[in-house]
Amino acid sequence: MIYYASRQKGTLTNILNSQVRALHRSLRTGSTVIWDLHEVENGINQQLFDKVHRHLTRDPTSQVIVNLSDENIPVVPNSVQVYTDFIQRWRPQQVEVWCSQPDALAVLAQQNPGIRTREVSHWEHATAHHRQLLEHPQIHKYTVPTHRLVSLNRRYHPLRAQLIYSLWSRRQQLNYTLGSGDPWGDESDEEFQQQEWQDLTLKPHVMAWQQTCNPWRQLSCDITEWEYDHTWNFTSTADICVVVESRHSKFPRNDAFITEKTFRPIAMGKPIIVCGQPSAIQTLQRWGYQTINTHSDIQHVIKTAQHILDLSNDEYQQKLQGWQVTAQQNQQRFLQRTSPSAACGAAQKAP
């Protein structure tokens, strides 16, 4: 029997191809209890922790899974200390750690000998879960594409603003959203934007454009509805999706953090251009996915997007056919990796 503490029931069901139960129920012999990253970082309810700890002490066939797969995990040992501290509260042979980045798993395995580690792409399975919810015919009715490119951006980030700024003169074939701040924060939009900018050379040009052109656009839905029909339908309004991922650190590492921003258009069979961490393209290729762009830095992404928007209609349609073949292959790969029969394969052991 599998139990979870507070979050992600639908995604966990998809990953495990099994129903999960709330942790307040009685634990059985051979149970698996899943704690997620946010619970570990914010502190586990002591009563629940004691309940699980007593059970695992009595029953060596039970285990805990520490699920770190829904966030970017650093590879610097000091940065993962909070997770190591939690892992070491259990017998190592009863612990399995999930993460989407094998390089981070390697650090945790080195710090915690005897634990098991598994590569799990949380946002790939979360997207599959939302896709299943949208398959109901009364909900799942995508619009016909009306643009060449679509870029969906909720939280403000300088690279997202830079993308729209650089494509502004070509926006007739671009459908986009661009948030002006942080939907989860308390700071004003202006304060948030000022703090986010690192490129001081480009900053005044983009900030002046923002003030003059007022480029802000948002979906007409509540923040809690972002994963559902509004978002998927907006993604369908163009042939190709330009994704600016959540993480863009230039720190070199082998495995990038990829979210639903990339997996959503993949699940829809859309060609993708992805801006993200330096190894984002290589990470997607390792999983069997292909992108239009060959480098994930913002300059390359902008150049690729500008080229697509500048193509003549005949040239565009010819290239689009090839990109759509690749997109269909991506979609089939996505369905294979998230299908019930691949539930175990989706959580393969990390090297």
pLDDT value of position 69: 96
- Condensed to tens digits (0 to 9), the pLDDT of residues 271-307 reads 999 999 999 999 999 999 999 999 999 999 999 999 9
Cβ neighbour number for residue 193 with a 10 Å cutoff: 21
For residue 150, what are the CA distances in angstroms to 6, 125, 224, 286, 305? 34, 23, 21, 25, 10
pLDDT value of position 204: 97
Q: What is the CATH number of domain 127-338?
A: 3.40.50
* pLDDT tops 90 at residue 4: no
- Condensed to tens digits (0 to 9), the pLDDT of residues 74-95 reads 998 889 999 999 999 999 999 9
**Percent of the chain surpassing pLDDT 70:** 93
pLDDT value of position 221: 81
Cα four-point dihedral sign 53, 55, 60, 64:
negative
pLDDT, greater one: 291 or 135: 291
3-state secondary structure of 147: strand
The band of 350, judged by pLDDT with boundaries at 50, 70 and 90, is: very low
The band of 140, judged by pLDDT with boundaries at 50, 70 and 90, is: low
Burial (CB count <10 Å: 0-12, 13-18, 19+), residue 338: buried
- Condensed to tens digits (0 to 9), the pLDDT of residues 257-267 reads 999 999 999 99
pLDDT value of position 141: 61
Residues 247-268: what's their mean pLDDT? 92
3-state secondary structure of 290: coil
* Domains of the chain by residue range: 2-120, 127-338
**Percent of the chain surpassing pLDDT 90:** 79
Q: b/e string for 49-73 if b means 16 or more Cβ within 10 A?
A: bebbeebbeeeeebbbbbbbbbbbb
Burial (CB count <10 Å: 0-12, 13-18, 19+), residue 118: buried
Mean per-residue pLDDT over the chain, rounded: 92
The band of 341, judged by pLDDT with boundaries at 50, 70 and 90, is: low
pLDDT value of position 133: 80
- Condensed to tens digits (0 to 9), the pLDDT of residues 213-245 reads 999 999 988 766 677 788 999 999 999 999 999
Cα four-point dihedral sign 105, 330, 243, 218:
negative
pLDDT, greater one: 349 or 120: 120
3-state secondary structure 22-61: ECCCCCCCCCEEEEEHHHHHHCCCHHHHHHHHHHHHHCCC
Side chain identity, residue 207? M
The band of 139, judged by pLDDT with boundaries at 50, 70 and 90, is: very low
Q: Decide: 314 and 296 in contact? Cβ < 8 Å.
A: no
Q: Which residues pair with 21 in a beta bridge?
A: 3
Beta strands 21-22 and 2-4 are: parallel
Alpha carbons 192 and 342: distance in angstroms, whole number: 42
Query: Which structure tokens are listed for 276?
Result: 């993200």
Q: Decide: 156 and 194 in contact? Cβ < 8 Å.
A: no
Beta strands 174-178 and 21-22 are: unpaired
Side chain identity, residue 311? L
Name which of 4, 14, 3, 2 is nearest 260 in CA terms.
14
pLDDT value of position 160: 97
| Torsion from C-alpha of 27, 33, 37, 43, nearest 10 degrees | 30
- Condensed to tens digits (0 to 9), the pLDDT of residues 160-176 reads 999 999 999 999 999 99
Q: Which residues pair with 119 in a beta bridge?
A: 99
Alpha carbons 41 and 264: distance in angstroms, whole number: 28
pLDDT value of position 50: 95
pLDDT, greater one: 141 or 234: 234
Cβ neighbour number for residue 302 with a 10 Å cutoff: 20
For residue 297, what are the CA distances in angstroms to 150, 160, 178, 212, 279? 18, 12, 19, 27, 10
pLDDT value of position 132: 85
